[in-house]
Structures are given as structure tokens and as C-alpha cells.
Amino acid sequence: MAEIKDKIRSFIVEDFLFGDDQGLEDTTSFLDEGIIDSTGMLELISFLEEQFSIEIADDEMVPENLDSISNVLSFLNRKLGSD
């Protein structure tokens, strides 16, 4: 999971934080901190689907799954474990 975490973190830092990861913790809320907006969330979903060969259903597009690095890791663990 460390490699997956690094991929997610790198994507967030490069695409949304312009290379500055200062203050970005694994539990930092993307939405509450203004890191990602609704369009950015679609970009994140597209990234995850492409990188990990998964399909994210509409009912899975919730903050509990996608609103922090920790949430994304937990979601991917469940998703990849069940596929």
C-alpha cells in the first residue's frame, strides 16, 4: 500500500498543490481545505480508475471514500480486495 499511497500523494501534490505538499497530511480533507473542488474530484476519480484499473460507481463517489489520502487508501483497499 505504500506505493499506492505515494502515487496518490504525488498526484494530489502535482495536480492540485503545484508541487507544495506543506501541511498535507494523510487525513487532510481535500474538500474542507479547498485542495480539490467538484471538478478536481472528477479528475481524482479518473486518475484512480486509470491507475488502478477500477470503475468507481456513482454511489461510491462520497467523501468517506475520496476526501483524504487515508480515505482513498481505505477505499482502494476495499475495492481492489473485492475485485
Predicted confidence (pLDDT) per residue in 35-57, tens digit: 999 999 999 999 999 999 999 99
**Which whole-number Å values give the CA distances from 75 to 21, 23, 34, 42, 64, in the listed order?**
22, 23, 21, 16, 8
- Inform me whether the pLDDT recorded for 83 exceeds 80: no
CATH domain 2-82 topology:
1.10.1200
Phi-psi region of 5 (alpha: psi -120 to 50; beta: other; left: phi over 0): alpha
Q: What is the mean pLDDT of residues 15-22?
A: 94
- Inform me whether the pLDDT recorded for 1 exceeds 90: no
Q: What is the mean pLDDT of residues 78-82?
A: 86
Residues of the chain with pLDDT > 70: what percent?
Answer: 98
CA nearest to 70, candidates 26, 28, 34: 26
